[in-house]
Amino acid sequence: MFKIDNNGDMTNPLEQKRAESGKNEGEIDWNYEESINSPRYLEAVKRVREKAKRQSDNPQNFLYYIKDYMWGDFWIAFVDEEEEDKFIGAVENSSPEELVKFVNQFSEESQNYGSGTDILHWDISSKCVDAVVAKFLDVLTDAKKEKGDEVYRGLSNTWMPLVFDFVEYMKKTGAIPDDYQLPGYSVSENSKETDAHLYLRFKEQFLFVEYLRNNPGKAEILERLSLKYGLGWARAFLSLEHDRKMGDKLISIGNELRDDAARAIFDKFSEIVGAAWEIEKYLKENFGEEKRFFYDTMDRISESTMRRGTDLLARLSEMPPDQILGELEKIKTETLLFLSSFRALKKGGHGIDFETIKDIEFRSVEGAEISPKDIERMREIYRGNYASQPELCEKLLEVFDQALNNPKTAFYILRYKGEIVSFLRFDEGEKEDRLYLGSVNVAPDFRGSAIGEAIMEKTVDMKAKESVLDADCNALSDIGAHYLETGFVAVRLYDYAGVPSFQIERNDRKNYPGKSMSRKDMVEKSKDQPLSDFGDFITSSSLERNPEALNFGLLDRGFVLSRYFKDGQRWYCLFEKRKELEVERKAA
């Protein structure tokens, strides 16, 4: 896949493919991993190594020596086995500025990794990576001792992301495995046998050990709490990335709260971390071709999730543990909804717009938590969506105002670049197993966003697993038809502010066979007749979209409307006999 000239040099494979195919760069399909393992590439690397050795003047600073060789668009960086000691020595003797300069290139270049420009090939051993990581820990520890807390916090906030980027980059190039462990990591010999040692990721290990190095007098209590609370306690040290004072706070939580309350909070925090990692794993496995945006997106999701979790832990003195636990559960649920949405997009054959996702924020809040500015934005979206139906809009806004003051109402709000673009709400009813779905709105300029629609639909799916959902919708609108094609059935037709409206219900424990019928079968059974009676169900079809033509009156005769869609120029409906008894869902 690589062209090698007579001098043993390489040219960019994208340039080669573009020349051969006449296609633009964005249209070319190539695989980076396959390319770097191709015989031609490996032969080219060998020749480049030989050429570099012949030309080397053995510069004193080996850290810069290894990146001084570039042929075409390829950087080739390598350390032979016999040169490992020289590399490690250069790292150990480097100044903090030299180390930062060396590692900083990985943060810059990782944005272009696999994009066809400046492809880097690093061929260094895990021992060399260990040396860089260990030196960084030494540098941070020395900075705290020599320059004080304030300067140290500033430096660590700058330097830590660099070492994390370096390690991630080394994983991508294969220098270290995905489960890379911090060199010599352990709180003590005893803790090596705990789950915390076995399942912590590098970043968690680094933050944990960095705190321990800076607080050596707390080693005994850290070990005791690690053994007592396990993985959840150790993972909570990720909060140090956002608040350098959280280490002492975590010790306080572990010492002062009841054991069951502290364990529940730490475990829930660990579940949030796990949910964020599940997203990362899924995106890596299914959308690897989007490397240019993937890592930035993951950083945004993780940053938002972890910062919210950290802020809650920091407020433990202000809020009771049960409330903290509930808020942490909300964060976990919202994170899992992102994952469900990505899976739905993949299943539906959609790509993921990483540029959009990185600026999306999704939260559930009570009405009292919504600011006046955001309430006005939500009203604005209402008015835009119902501009042609002012009377209906005013009635809906009255209901919206009531919901804002209802403590049993939860709003789910989607923001893009900080501005609300979509929202819905769930009201608790008199029956514990029923919720009312309302205020479903999408800003006109955000319609068609695949990820936005997926997040909102998965929110409804999640609630439907827990409760029966009730709602109302315009019987002659596209959204009304969409509801009936995605789990709901219409149980009643009525007039609301002059608009024909459905009362709809979603009960996933009721089995309506028509829901699984394909649209093709429905169209064939209907034979484009106004009404076709098949006993257990009735189909109707019409070129006109009105209650009479589509026989909505069947809702008053013991039927529900379970299907409602347009095919070609005709509208089709399927009515099934109402099921009063619930049929438990079969295990998936």
Q: Provide the 10 A C-beta neighbour count for residue 462.
A: 14
Q: Is 535 helix (H, G, I), strand (E, B) or coil?
A: coil
Query: At residue 111, does pLDDT exceed 80?
Result: no
Q: 415 versus 154: which is more confidently predicted? A: 415
Closest CA to 119 of 2, 203, 293: 2
Specify the DSSP class assigned to residue 79: -
How large is the average pLDDT for residues 47-65? 49
pLDDT tens-digit profile of 439-492? 999 998 888 777 778 888 999 999 999 999 999 999 999 999 999 999 999 999
Measured distance CA(516)–CA(512) in Å, rounded: 8
The whole-number pLDDT of residue 105 equals: 66
Q: Rounded to the nearest 5°, which phi and psi values hold at 511?
A: -105, 105
Q: Rounded to the nearest 5°, which phi and psi values hold at 527?
A: 50, 30
Alpha carbon 269 to chain centroid, angstroms? 16
Q: Please state the three-class secondary structure of 462-521 as a single string.
A: HHHHHCEEEEEEECCCHHHHHHHHCCCEEEEEEEECCEEEEEEEECCCCCCHHHHCCHHH
Local confidence band at 229 (pLDDT 50, 70, 90 cut-offs): confident
Q: Residue 274: exposed, middle, or buried by beta-carbon count in 10 A (0-12, 13-18, 19+)?
A: middle
Q: Which residues, listed in sequence order, are joined to residue 427 by a DSSP beta bridge? A: 409, 436
Q: Is 200 helix (H, G, I), strand (E, B) or coil?
A: coil
Query: At residue 319, does pLDDT exceed 80?
Result: yes
* Element at 223 (helix H, strand E): helix 219-235
Q: 367 versus 190: which is more confidently predicted? A: 367
Edge-to-edge, what's the strand order for the sheet holding 570-577? 360-366, 409-416, 419-428, 434-442, 468-474, 499-506, 489-496, 559-567, 570-577, 537-542, 531-533
357-373 residues labelled b (16+ CB within 10 A) or e (exposed): bbebbbebeebeebeee
Q: Of 69-83, 311-325, 504-518, which has the strongest mean pLDDT?
A: 504-518
Closest CA to 452 of 500, 417, 489: 417
Ranges 116-125, 169-178, 354-363: which has the least confidence: 116-125
Q: Residue 310: exposed, middle, or buried by beta-carbon count in 10 A (0-12, 13-18, 19+)?
A: buried
CA-based torsion, 300, 303, 304, 305: positive or negative: positive
Measured distance CA(80)–CA(1) in Å, rounded: 25
pLDDT tens-digit profile of 391-429? 999 999 999 999 999 999 999 999 988 999 999 999 998
The whole-number pLDDT of residue 35 equals: 52
How large is the average pLDDT for residues 480-509? 94
Measured distance CA(309)–CA(312) in Å, rounded: 5
Measured distance CA(173)–CA(427) in Å, rounded: 50
pLDDT tens-digit profile of 532-585? 888 889 999 999 999 999 999 999 999 999 999 999 999 999 999 987 644 433
Local confidence band at 46 (pLDDT 50, 70, 90 cut-offs): low
The whole-number pLDDT of residue 19 equals: 52
For the chain, the straight-line distance linking the first and the last C-alpha, in angstroms and rounded, comes to 45
Residue type, 481: A
Q: Percentage of the chain with pLDDT > 90? A: 31
Q: 374 versus 526: which is more confidently predicted? A: 374
Specify the DSSP class assigned to residue 408: T
pLDDT tens-digit profile of 278-297? 877 777 777 655 544 555 66
Local confidence band at 108 (pLDDT 50, 70, 90 cut-offs): very low
Q: Percentage of the chain with pLDDT > 70? A: 75
How large is the average pLDDT for residues 31-52? 56
* Element at 161 (helix H, strand E): helix 126-172
Ranges 57-71, 278-292, 508-522: which has the least confidence: 57-71
Query: At residue 125, does pLDDT exceed 60?
Result: yes
Query: At residue 526, does pLDDT exceed 50?
Result: yes
The whole-number pLDDT of residue 311 equals: 86
Q: Which two tokens stand for residue 264?
A: 């529940």
pLDDT tens-digit profile of 19-36? 555 545 444 444 444 555
pLDDT tens-digit profile of 165-208? 888 878 877 778 877 888 766 544 444 444 444 467 788 888 88
Q: 221 versus 33: which is more confidently predicted? A: 221
The whole-number pLDDT of residue 360 equals: 83
The whole-number pLDDT of residue 172 equals: 74
pTM as predicted: 0.69
Residue type, 134: A
Query: At residue 495, does pLDDT exceed 60?
Result: yes
Supply the mean pLDDT for the chain. Answer: 78
Q: Provide the 10 A C-beta neighbour count for residue 301.
A: 22
Cα dihedral 33, 39, 40, 44 in deg (nearest 10):
90
